[in-house]
Structure 1
Amino acid sequence: MSEYSLWNALERASDLNPRVLAVDCHAGQFNYEDFRDRINRLASGLASFYHIQLGSRIVVLAGNCHRYVELYWACVRLGALLVPINVRLSRSEVQYIIDQCDPALGVADSEECRARLVTVAPKLPIIGWVEHDQMIDTSPVWEGLSPPATAPMGIFYTAAVDGKPQGAIVTSRNLLAQSLQIGLRLGLSSADGYGNFLPLFHMFGACFAVMSGCFGATNVLPPTFDAPTAADLVREGRVTFFSEFAPMAQRLGDALAWESVAIGRLRLIVGIDSLEVIQRFVKLGVCWFNLYGQTEIAGLATMGEVHGDQDEAGYVGEPLCLTWMSIRDLDGRPLSSGMAGELWIRGPTVVERYWPDRPTRLTVDGWLKTGDVLKVDHGRWIFVGRTDDKYLIKSGGENVYPAEVELVLCAHPEVLQACVVGRADPVWQERVCAAVVLRPGAAVSPEELAVFCRERIAAFKVPREFVTMARIPRKNGAVDRDAVRRLLESEPPPVLPQHA
């Protein structure tokens, strides 16, 4: 695989399926022959007009579109790095990413997104989809040499464990390995259509979009997830599989009225959701795969078919074919079956560095320490929780790191200390909650704290429950998040509205 690159995989898909739709987008449709030509011309235009070359960074602030997928592939072709930015991030969060990665070019799909980039990077050259298409129309086909298979192709910001996100440097080799192991497990072919219901700025969404290209499948691209629109795509037989985070599948099922005649060619779903939702899709004849993954492996480590049974709670499947997994104790020693410990992963999917040159949690012999706690129970890999130093909250598929939110809360003039935890939520799986210690004589309402946070971090990170405490409980010198969570559960405060 060292000589076979991610770009080679797309070339092969194009050679085998020149007339198959590569992208079925709200903004246009292109078969594989034309799609490959567009990518080569885009790469040529980026190199000629904006001097993009091996190692250059391009930030993009946009919704899903075939042009977004073309940008990913053009970066693969050139050896440049695409830096996708979550459109829900605040001004200061966007500023941090741009300041850190020092891009050569910005891409925005609307005047609003362009203005957001201009505000934080006034000297950065910024183009839109019009200029994107003009480069393709006026540029010759790129004929330069392809970069090595190990060349970086993207920086995906994640893991704000210490209060600031880190940019995982994903290589073409990482995504090629992911594409092969996931695509083979799902049995993908050129007859499939992948519903891009997850955003392309998300590692999970980007991984599946690239994988679909490697297997000659069609990337079906609505601008964002909207249940009625997604239901129409499913009914029309354009989508055969999709990936999701709760509550997407629930909303899609409701839009389809949970009728088997409405599911078209839909054959499988990969995602994390409630047992009830899984059961309902399985009854319609759709295969459901649970998973385990993270950005530091550029996608997934496990997958396994489930049926929504009670004994499947926590089950994440089995290791994929290019992934090695081991359960270790605190000293790094392998644990016996049935014992819970930290999951270590090794293989070609493992991301080795954060931008610009900070190592991920790698051991000297190449194992990635994931920070997640799993166990193997009679051959079944079960997710148990997270280690203390990597506590995070999963809300609607978005990662929320308490340390980042706590830093913002403690910046409020009335707040002395803060502890952020996650609580179960019937719609979003988890919701963000906060306990605060106010300064002597201070008074501030939950609504005021929420507004303060919303001005500084993305809305999905803003706590929806606040409780005031005299002190934050501690255990063995560290914040006792379990005690804070128990307090919130025993005396639940009012839940603030969810903001987009």
Structure 2
Amino acid sequence: MPAFNIADLFELVADTVPEREAVVCGASRRTYAELDERATRLAHALQTELGIEPGDHVGLQLYDSVEHVEAMLACYKARAVPINVNWRYVADELRQVLDDAGARALFHEPELAAVMEPAVARGPAYESLLAAGSATRDFPPRSGDDHYVLYTGGTTGPPKGVVWRQEDIFFAVLGGGNPAGPPIEKPEEITRTPLTNKALRLRAFLPPDDPGPEQFIQLSLSPLIHAGGQWSGLATLLGGGKVVLYHERHVDTGVVLSLVEREGITSLNMLGDVSAVPLLEELRAHPGRYDTSTVRLLGSGATMLSGDVKAELLERIPTAVAISEAVGSSEAPVEAATVTTRSGAPPRSLRFNARPETAVLDDELQPVVPGSGQVGRLAVRGRVPIGYHNDPQKSARTFIDIDGVRWTHTGDMATVEADGSIRLLGRGSECINTGGEKVYPEEVEAVVKAHPGVADALVVGRPDPAWGQRVVALVQLADGERLDLSQLDAHCRPHLAGYKLPRDLVTVEKVQRSPTGKPDYEWARRIATADAVG
């Protein structure tokens, strides 16, 4: 009997729509049948040629490719655990992750061999290994208790592996077999999704008389080594959709928009303003060059979209019926979510609709009162991770029990508005203490970035002898724009309390962010401090 296990569920879908395209990357394409057979061969080869056993960890230091998807599925088929490894790591970083994970094997790109060799021994070539495996699906029974592990980006220290049960990640993140309605109750019911409504993941956003596209075709600008890319990819495959992978190492907006046109993308996932703004600049610069008429849904994860950016996205991609945003982390994938539609309220940033599983808790682990203005930490209950791999102390701090209910206690600070919506303030570790008042960078950044002359911005605290810290805005100006502190103050003052206003302005050529859009606050603090000394 199949279980709520990623491999079991994928095999059910592959048997239902074997000839449908499943994954595309550059010139490489795989149908569901082809993807399933190659993953099966590779899974057997992992067992027979490399001695991989159930529960073993296998590193994947791979670019986005069909082989990356095959290797990930092969691990699940063999009941091994794929470990995402950033291909940007140098040898010491690679060794740290592989040692922490206890990895038994590593898939890597040929051009990364020089980085890989100081850390691990060389093994067989990918296609040779795959050819050695049987195409017969004769695996022992799998379980929903099999592990899914995702290594974090290490924004507050070395990367840590977040450990989930596969059944929990399926229902918490991957759609539960029915993204537009109640989750399925039996694994076999997942076959209804690709057959009864090929674009089921769009159903919740479409008018009743709109049948939607023939197939849900997903392009995510988050790579498979990160949560957003993995989750959107797996959710699409488990719904019978097509995953289109971006094949370049660096994002070129012209290539992205050409890919949208060529593959008929129906859902485009971005990384907040860091990827949305360049896309809009390309559309503005070349009106009519790109056909985006197949796009029905826009999404964003990792960081939030500014209100004016959302408004322009809906204007320039008129076939998009909604923009879906989710705020979360590897530990709590969807803490809060919001949907912006053409007929709804004006686009806004920082405020999200609370989910039933989400709460903002005070220091006593009690829910904050809506409309009170009290600041608390976001927390999520229900299907949450088992813990961190090899870190029981951090697990105990993050995954807590409240009256017999298990919660993920995040580091995201927030308040609850009178209408029940959640206003995000940012990570508690980045909080600025100025004159005894707390300032959360993301709240100020959202206002600063709304200035028409600002392309991007970060806000940090700088030591101040009188106030403890002073608020500093690091601003990347839009092309041809100028901005001084008095102009920024005039823009921000109507929207922020006086103690939250930037007291200094530092212009930079480019705001530094990770490839997934996460702000580099350490860099920002160094720049802000150096500017004060200079």
Which TM-score band (shorter chain)? 0.7 to 0.9
CA deviation vs aligned residue, 1:160-210 (integer Å, no higher than 9, x gap): 43x333221233223311112596148328701111321111111111111
Partner of 1:81: 81
Asked if the contact 1:183/1:211 (under 8 Å) is kept, the reply is no
Separation in 2, partners of 1:137, 1:329: 56
Deviates more, 1:307-316 or 1:424-433: 424-433
Q: 2:176 aligned with 1:176, yes or no?
A: no
Separation in 1, partners of 2:176, 2:431: 27
Partner of 1:409: none
Deviates more, 1:282-291 or 1:184-193: 184-193
Which residue of 350, 355, 363 maps to 1:314?
350
Superposition pairs of residues 62-77 of structure 1, within 5 angstroms: 62-77=62-77
Which residue of 256, 269, 272 maps to 1:243?
269
1:188 alignment partner, SS class:
helix
Which residue of 190, 211, 218 maps to 1:194?
218
Asked if the contact 1:343/1:370 (under 8 Å) is kept, the reply is yes
Q: CA deviation at 1:488?
A: 11
Partner of 2:493: none
Which residue of 138, 147, 150 maps to 2:142?
147
Q: Which residue identity is paired with 1:132?
A: Y
Separation in 2, partners of 1:281, 1:182: 29
Q: Which residue identity is paired with 1:144?
A: F
Q: CA deviation at 1:431?
A: 4.1
Q: CA deviation at 1:366?
A: 0.5
Superposition pairs of residues 413-492 of structure 1, within 5 angstroms: 424=445, 429-431=456-458, 474=468, 480=469, 489-492=502-505
Separation in 1, partners of 2:89, 2:280: 29
Q: CA deviation at 1:247?
A: 2.3
Change over 3 Å in CA distance of 1:379–1:126 after alignment to 2: farther
Q: Which residue identity is paired with 2:337?
A: M
Superposition pairs of residues 279-298 of structure 1, within 5 angstroms: 279-283=311-315, 284-286=318-320, 287-297=322-332
Asked if the contact 2:61/2:109 (under 8 Å) is kept, the reply is yes
Separation in 2, partners of 1:356, 1:430: 36
Q: CA deviation at 1:143?
A: 1.7
CA deviation vs aligned residue, 1:313-354 (integer Å, no higher than 9, x gap): 2123342xxx61122211011223224422221122x11211
Separation in 2, partners of 1:261, 1:496: 29
Q: Which residue identity is paired with 2:151?
A: F
Q: Which residue identity is paired with 1:188?
A: R
Change over 3 Å in CA distance of 1:278–1:487 after alignment to 2: closer
Separation in 2, partners of 1:179, 1:258: 36
Separation in 2, partners of 1:166, 1:242: 28
Change over 3 Å in CA distance of 1:181–1:55 after alignment to 2: closer
Q: 2:411 aligned with 1:368, yes or no?
A: no
Q: Which residue identity is paired with 1:102?
A: G
Separation in 1, partners of 2:260, 2:230: 20
Partner of 2:422: 382
CA deviation vs aligned residue, 1:277-306 (integer Å, no higher than 9, x gap): 211222223121121111103x32433211
Which residue of 360, 373, 381 maps to 1:327?
360
Q: CA deviation at 1:484?
A: 10
Asked if the contact 2:464/2:470 (under 8 Å) is kept, the reply is no
Which residue of 149, 162, 167 maps to 2:161?
167
Q: Which residue identity is paired with 1:277?
A: V
Change over 3 Å in CA distance of 1:488–1:305 after alignment to 2: closer
Which residue of 294, 308, 318 maps to 1:265?
294
Q: CA deviation at 1:65?
A: 0.6
Higher relative contact order (Cα pairs below 8 Å, separated by 6+ residues): 1
Q: Taking structure 1 as the reference length, what is the TM-score of the superposition?
A: 0.75
Superposition pairs of residues 81-160 of structure 1, within 5 angstroms: 81-111=81-111, 113-119=112-118, 121=119, 123-126=120-123, 131-141=125-135, 142-160=137-155
Asked if the contact 1:343/1:371 (under 8 Å) is kept, the reply is yes
Q: CA RMSD in A?
A: 3.5
Asked if the contact 1:473/1:483 (under 8 Å) is kept, the reply is no
Separation in 1, partners of 2:78, 2:40: 9
Separation in 1, partners of 2:511, 2:127: 37
Asked if the contact 2:336/2:358 (under 8 Å) is kept, the reply is no
Partner of 2:378: 343
Q: Which residue identity is paired with 1:391?
A: E
Partner of 1:47: 47
Q: Which residue identity is paired with 2:20?
A: V
Separation in 2, partners of 1:57, 1:370: 26
Change over 3 Å in CA distance of 1:434–1:80 after alignment to 2: farther
Asked if the contact 1:106/1:117 (under 8 Å) is kept, the reply is no
Change over 3 Å in CA distance of 1:3–1:139 after alignment to 2: closer
Partner of 2:309: 277
Q: Which residue identity is paired with 1:366?
A: R
Q: 2:51 aligned with 1:19, yes or no?
A: no
Q: Using the aligned pairs only, state the percent identity.
A: 17
CA deviation vs aligned residue, 1:108-166 (integer Å, no higher than 9, x gap): 2232x2211223x0x43456xxx2233333310352224321211323124543x3332
Q: Taking structure 2 as the reference length, what is the TM-score of the superposition?
A: 0.70
Q: Which residue identity is paired with 1:25?
A: C
Separation in 2, partners of 1:470, 1:378: 35
Q: Which residue identity is paired with 1:136?
A: L
Q: CA deviation at 1:269?
A: 1.2
Query: Which consecutive unaligned segments of at least 5 residues does structure 1 have?
Result: 394-420, 436-468, 475-479
Aligned length: 423
Q: 2:430 aligned with 1:391, yes or no?
A: yes
